[in-house]
Amino acid sequence: MAFGTGTHVTTNGAKIIAARIQTTAPGAGSVTPPALGSAAPKQVAMGLGATTAARTAATTDTSLSKEVEARVTGAETVTNNVYQVVGTQTNTSAGVEAIDEAGLFDTSATTTTSGAAAAATTLPLASGVFQATGTVFAINETTPANGAQTITITAGGNTTSATVTPLTGAVSNGDRIVQGNMATTATFAVVNLQIGDSLQQTWQITNTAT
């Protein structure tokens, strides 16, 4: 699929939204929240790999092509049937960031960049973040077109490491391990952020009766 602009609520995002109206902690998407409402999709993320990967946002997205900067907790508001999140991220790197993708996640943990060697059976996780048994995604940042590789966690919890299915050669040490469910996804024309420049994201999810 060639690169194009697009914005979607992902398949997992639809599950998250539906699950939030339950009266008990849901098991939506790939990560089970520790408590109802404690893992709402309010963490904004941005990336710069969509054009390189010739990727257009789709409902099946589970991660950005190449996520950059720490995720930011956005400000939530609900007006009638519209759920809105506004968050701002800043370029803290040593050069220009050509941002062309963004998304909302249900955990503030970004990624870990160690322990991702091929055939690895354990991976470090962000400290203090609840990661239930389920899936995370490994991203090959050297060759973004390879997309995400699904990794199944067989021992989750509030821990700093997890036992996973062995990684293949699609990712290597230093690549990213994406945590959390991606609720919304967007690809757009490149926005060049100089060092210190910021990008504000405003997401509005409208639930319409049918």
The ranges assigned to domains in the chain are 1-109+181-210, 111-179
- Any idea what the Cα angle at residue 65 is, between residues 199 and 102, rounded to 5°? 25
Calpha distance 55→45 (Å, rounded): 16
Question: Which residues are paired to 68 by β-bridges?
Answer: 46
Residues of the chain with pLDDT under 70: 1, 18-39, 109-114, 125-136, 141-148, 154-160, 209-210
CA angle 162, 168, 169 (to 5 degrees): 130
CA contacts within 13 A on the Cβ side of 154: 6
Q: 166 CB contacts (<8 Å, ≥6 apart)?
A: 119, 120, 121
CA dist 194 and 160 (Å) reads 34
Predicted pLDDT of residue 20: 66
- Token pair 């870990």 in the structure block, residue: 112
Within its chain, how far is the Cα of 4 from the centroid? 19
pLDDT in tens, 86-98: 999 999 988 999 9
Convert the pLDDT of each residue in 148-163 to its tens digit. Answer: 677 777 655 556 677 7
Q: What integer pLDDT is reported at residue 27 of this predicted model?
A: 46
